[in-house]
Amino acid sequence: MIEPDAALLDRAMRGDEAAFDALFLRYYEQVYKVLFRICGNREEAEDLAQDTFLELYHNPPASHPNVPLISWLCRVALNKGYNALRRERRTLERIARLDAPAYSGDDPAAEAVRAEEQTEVRDALAQLPERQSRLLLLRYAGLSYAEVAAALDVAPGSVGTLLARAERAFVAAYKAAEERAGSLERTKP
């Protein structure tokens, strides 16, 4: 039997460290993915993921059957990620930053291609309304429709429609980003 989040959280709130650890291990990767796509920087994503779980540790959500814990975590992570971006007021510069390759492959050429793709992805996400980019970040971090709905406070039945629009907008923005990158490449001496 997989221990339900609510039971783990209940025990964690009463000092059971193992229960908290189980929640951490259960959801860290999804939280990290959301943050990495916002920050484009592994270290910052890890820092913000730590902050997110610190929030869980100190200010756990009240038990609510309609809000899955992962939705709450991702909502906190999204807020932290976007707040970090706003604080620095250099969103575009940060999106273009390539200092944290996500893959640790040995092929430098592949790494460079991958880093370029990441830049374009974040560039495309930055072109979208924040609501759409949040939706994509959550869904592609693995949250279910219900979890996405709870995290963004939208009706579960509307997630499919919102997702279709966001994906369409994202793909268009990504193509534009690719073209911009290509034209920049062509203008290089």
Partner 1 sequence: MTGCNLYDEGALRSYLDPDNPLSEQEREQVAAHLATCPGCRARLDDLCHIIEKASAVLAGYASASDPHLALARFRRELQPAVAASAARPAATTTIALNSPVARSVAGTGRPRVAVSVRPAWVGIGLAAAMLLALALSMLLAGNVTRLAGSQQINNPDLTVAARTSPSPTPQPSGTPDEWTLLRRRLLNLPVVAPGAKCPVGSATQVVPNLPPQLGSGPVYATEPYFEVDTGDNPATRGWYSSKIIWVGRGDFRGPVLVRGRKLDGAGIVQLQHNGNDPVEDELRLDASNMNNADSWASAAYVQSPGCYSFQVDTENWTDVIIFQVEGTDQASVTPEPTATLDDWTLLGQRPVSLPTIAPGGQCPVSKGATHVLPNLPTSLEFGQGPIYLDASTADGRNFPAPNGVIGLVPSAINGITAYHFYGPWVGAPEYTGPVLARGRQLDGEGQVRFDYNLKHMQEQMRLDNYNDVSGTNWRFWPSTIIVPNTGCYAFQVDGENFSYSVTLQVVHR
Question: Which residues lie near partner 1 (CB under 8 A)?
Answer: 1-4, 7-8, 10-11, 13-19, 21-22, 24-26, 28-29, 32-33, 36-37, 42, 46, 49-50, 53-54, 57-60, 102-104, 114, 117-118, 120-121, 136, 140, 144-146, 157-165, 167-168, 170-171, 174
DSSP class per residue in 109-161 = HHHHHHHHHHHHHHHHHHHS-HHHHHHHHHHHTT--HHHHHHHHT--GGGHHH
Q: Tell me the residue type at 83.
A: N
Please report how close the Cβ of residue 128 comes to partner 1 at its closest, in angstroms.
Answer: 11
Instruction: Give least dist CB 118 to partner 1, A.
Output: 7
In this complex, which beta carbon is closest to partner 1, that of residue 27 or of residue 187?
Answer: 27
CB nearer to partner 1: give 155 or 184: 155
| Structure token digits, residue 85 | 């971006």
C-alpha–C-alpha distance, residues 107 and 171, integer Å: 27
* CB distance 134 to 152 below 8 Å: yes
- What's the closest the beta carbon of residue 92 comes to partner 1, in angstroms? 19
- Which residue, 24 or 82, is less far from partner 1 as judged by CB? 24
| Minimum CB distance to partner 1, residue 87 (Å) | 21
Choose between 24 and 91: whose C-beta lies nearer to partner 1.
24
Instruction: Write the CB contacts of 177 (distance below 8 Å, at least 6 apart in sequence).
Output: 119, 120, 121, 123, 124, 127
